[in-house]
Structure 1
Amino acid sequence: MPYLACTGCGKKHPLATDLRCADCGEPLEVRYETLTPPARLTEEPCFIARNVNIFPFPNLRPELSLGEGGTPLVEAVHLQRETGIGEIYLKNETVNPTWSFKDRGTSLGVQAALQLGFERVGTVSSGNMAASVAAFAARAGLEAFVYVAADIPESKLGPIAIYGCHLTRGTGDYGSLYYHALAFGKERGIYFISSDNPFRIEGQKTLAYEILDQLDYEPLDFIVLPVSSGGNMAAVIKGCEELVALGLIQKAPFVIGVQAAGCSPIARAAAEGKEKIEPFPNPDTIAHAIANPFPPSGNRILRKVREGRATVMAVSDEEIIAAQAFLAQKEGLFVQPASAAPVAAVRRLAAAGTLRPEHRVAVIVTGSGLKDTGALAHHHLEGETAERR
């Protein structure tokens, strides 16, 4: 039977509404006594039906799916040519229903809310998760409460509010809003499907399953992805570990998390060998989607770093802007700055010789550039005027 376990102290919890351990405060995650492999992508198109064997609840409702998951794994031919790396693949999460990877976790998070008897769901978000929770809640007939930071750009509010949710600009940054929401949810009967909700993690771990499925379970050396709260990175690591336990692969890919240098609390703590993250002062980066100054799963990621399963690094805004332009102009993918961060890391690591020609690398491209069109101002784009003859 599935159960929840603390990622810090290991204490067991039942499958219930708890999101963090009452003893040590660290995130909970779903564990299984036995697992059965999911269906292959080619065999089952529905996200819920395909992954039912690796999800914790019975009687899930496939009709609540919005077509999430099953995203393309595209060979990055120009990035391969530039870096000299033999095989690089881009997992294109921009084609999910609300244009980001968040839909995977939200899909199962909403199903969990229904299983647990909730009629209200909520989230704290910098933008991507807000739209995702609002959309899936609408599909399921649930009331949605979305809290965003006070400094979120005006252009991001409409694409969230259109789903009919209760949208509130909060005070403070994402890190502080997250913890306030946990208490608020208990008071108001709102089930928060935020970054490291254990059932959200179960939905997001399917990224690892899909990437390896699309590669026919052939060896993969690295998975590179942007990191904000740490929840998605934890999910990908968990998925890789389960793939090994199931015997579908022999060795888990090494996971490289990438933060923006202007807000890199996990990368900084990892570089300094610390066991716990500290709040990052005065965040300042173009990559707003990963500008989380106090990530709720930061300590969890540091434990994986110490176990030798992962690492976290930081790249500059200049590298991110250059990578965003490269992806658009060479690979034909317009992504938000946060999604360009792992490509910036791949370019740097290849130049340093850390990533070599014999390596196979998968890069998770997490969100569409349409999520943050304000970043276009950094590219000094100009159109041509047709001359009248």
Structure 2
Amino acid sequence: MTLSFGQNGVFFMKKALLRCKTCGAEYGADRAPFRCACGEPLDLAWNGFGIEANERCQSRRYAAFYPFAAGEWRSLGEGGTPLVKLETLAKELGLAEVAVKNESANPTWSFKDRGTASCIAHARALGYTKVGTVSSGNMAASVAAYAAAADMEAFVLVKGNVADEKLAPIAIYGPHLLRVAGPYYELYGESLRLGAERGIYFMNSDVPFRVAGSRTIAYEIAEERGFRVPDWVIVPTSAGGNLRGIVNGFEDLRRAGLTEKLPRFICAQAANISPIAAAFAAGAARIRRFPDNETIAHAIDNPFPPSGNRVLAELRRLGGAVLTASEGEIVRAQADLARCGLFGQPASCVPLAVLRRARADGIVAEGESAALVMTGSGLKYTAAFAAHRLEWRDCDLASLPAYLK
């Protein structure tokens, strides 16, 4: 494939590097390697920093943290999501602060829009006109939407057993939507291979610029707290790219002198599918494929996460933890957040469930603070309503006064 570069894109990209934290190898960001030759993921290495205080959108407020010319971004208004303090839960748990970073406020209702926006900018800088992803949920809708906004052709690959009703919210944006029979875990690597062959930029779960997009979650949490970082940041984890990006973001801020310390991190997984937790508990350096069990937290049901080994290494380096939540604990957490006015999809409620466990186990101490990343809207998975006891009543106009007491 022959790639064409805009003048500004060439200038910036030649200064940026993609670095493997596992083996130390470096690659130029003016091409599109998605994994290191050693098999582990890559991270953006870029020394620019600066904050445009009057801008809310990620692509304008934090543009200096990315090696893109302004014209390469195609924003839908991602970022700038609220950090909501939950005083009732903080009091219940004996903590100084419990706050939820509400990523459902992004354009397609999930954190994926941050990484998609930066991937689209990278793809445009490299001259791509076709993009793709492997997903059946948040990332699929995000890539389809942003490709439409950028007037790019999109290829979205989903599991062969995905129900029709889950496809409609993706198909509405007009991508090439392909339901692929066969082992889903093999699609990740096969899509990258075919993308390189066919000139399609596959922005899968933990490619470098998707991970780079998640850094802005850290920037915003710090900014919203006056650059005083919380003691703990808890992230629901599937592939591992989002957690990696958030860790990198807090390290960016400390390196720039904007914060004095790093928070500690908890990787939150559903107990039914928890390969990172299993490896962490066993003291292993590498994850093993986990049984592909069912969980209500379907957005994080990844039995063999591509960034699993990297997440293990980062958590051990930084004194973090990996905790799991049962199905019942996840449902309770979803209900509790809803009672606070926040309706997250089950996977995005796992952080609250594991925070309770972390308090019970003494991992999170009394009086500390915690930021929970609520990754997506509950409207993404309405089948979860069946797990709750929901009540309503019918009445006629004449009997209405009797109910309003």
- Please tell me the TM-score bracket, short chain as reference: over 0.9
Q: Give the Cα–Cα distance (whole angstroms) in 2 for the partners of residues 283 and 189 of structure 1.
A: 35
Q: CA RMSD in A?
A: 1.5
Give the partner amino acid of 1:204: S
Establish whether residue 36 from structure 1 lines up as the match of residue 49 from structure 2.
yes
From 267, 270, 274, the counterpart of 2:284:
274
Residue 49 of structure 1 aligns to which amino acid in structure 2? Answer: R
Q: Report if aligned partners of 2:72, 2:125 keep a CA contact under 8 Å in 1.
A: no
1:275-333 CA-partner distances (Å, limit 9, x unpaired):
1111111322111000011101111101112313432221111100000011112x111
Q: Which residue of 2 aligns with 1:70?
A: 80
Instruction: Output aligned runs, 1:1-389, within 5 Å.
Output: 1-15=15-29, 16-22=31-37, 24-32=38-46, 34-40=47-53, 43-62=54-73, 64-172=74-182, 174-329=184-339, 331-386=340-395, 389=399
Hey, what does 2:403 align to over in structure 1? Answer: none
Moved more, 144-153 or 96-105: 144-153
Unaligned runs of at least 5 residues, structure 2: 1-14, 400-405
Preserved contact between residue 174 and residue 293 of structure 1 (Cα < 8 Å): no
The offset of 1:174, in angstroms, is 4.4
8 Å CA contact 1:48–1:60 kept in 2: the answer is: no
CA contact (8 A) 1:93 1:101 kept: yes
Aligned residue type for 2:177: L
Residues 72 and 124 of structure 2 are in contact (CA less than 8 Å); yes or no, is this contact kept in structure 1? no
| C-alpha contact 2:94 2:367 (8 A) present in aligned 1 | no
Q: Provide the C-alpha distance between the structure 2 equivalents of 1:162 and 1:93, rounded to a whole number of angstroms.
A: 22
Q: How many residues align?
A: 383
Give CA-to-partner distance per residue, 1:5-24, whole Å, 9 cap, x none.
113211111111110012x1
Partner of 2:3 in structure 1? none
Contact 1:105 1:202 in 2 (8 A): yes
**147-156 or 209-218, which moves further after superposition?**
147-156
8 Å contact from structure 2 (residues 265, 315) kept in 1? no
Which segment drifts farther, 164-173 or 203-212? 164-173
- Write the distance in 2 (CA, Å) between the matches of 1:366 and 1:161: 22
User: For residue 386 of structure 2, what is the amino acid of its counterpart?
Assistant: A
Q: Secondary structure at the match of 2:294?
A: coil
User: Shift of the alpha carbon at 1:201?
Assistant: 1.1
Q: TM-score, normalised by structure 2?
A: 0.91
Q: Give me the identity figure in percent.
A: 48
Deviation at 1:173, TM superposition (A): 5.2
Supply the distance in 2 between the matched residues of 1:141 and 1:9 (Cα, whole angstroms): 37
Which residue of the partner structure matches residue 6 of structure 2? none
Question: TM-score by structure 1 length?
Answer: 0.95
Structure 2 vs 1, CA of residues 172 and 214 (structure 1 numbering), >3 Å: closer, same or farther?
farther
How far, CA to CA, are the matches of 2:288 and 2:51 in structure 1? Answer: 38
Measured after TM superposition, the shift of residue 180 of structure 1 is: 1.5
Separation of aligned partners in 1, 2:180 and 2:173: 19
Asked if the contact 1:125–1:174 (Cα under 8 Å) also holds between the matched residues in 2, the reply is no
- The alpha-carbon deviation at position 60 of structure 1 amounts to 4.0
Deviations 1:137-159 (A, max 9, x none): 00000000001112333322100
Q: What amino acid does structure 2 have at the position aligned with 1:83?
A: L
| Contact 2:58/2:216 (8 A) holds in 1 | no
Higher CA-based Rg: 2
- In 2, Cα distance between equivalents of 1:173 and 1:217: 44
CA contact (8 A) 2:72 2:122 kept: no
Q: Secondary structure at the match of 1:307?
A: helix
Letter in 1 for 2:352: V
Q: Deviations over 1:208-242 (max 9, x none)?
A: 00100110101421101100000000000111111
> Which one is further off, 376-385 or 203-212?
376-385
Matched residue SS, 2:318: coil
Q: 1:67 to 1:274 in 2, by over 3 A?
A: same
Instruction: Give the stretch that moved more between structures: 308-317 or 277-286.
Output: 308-317
Q: Distance in 2 between matches of 1:183 and 1:165?
A: 20
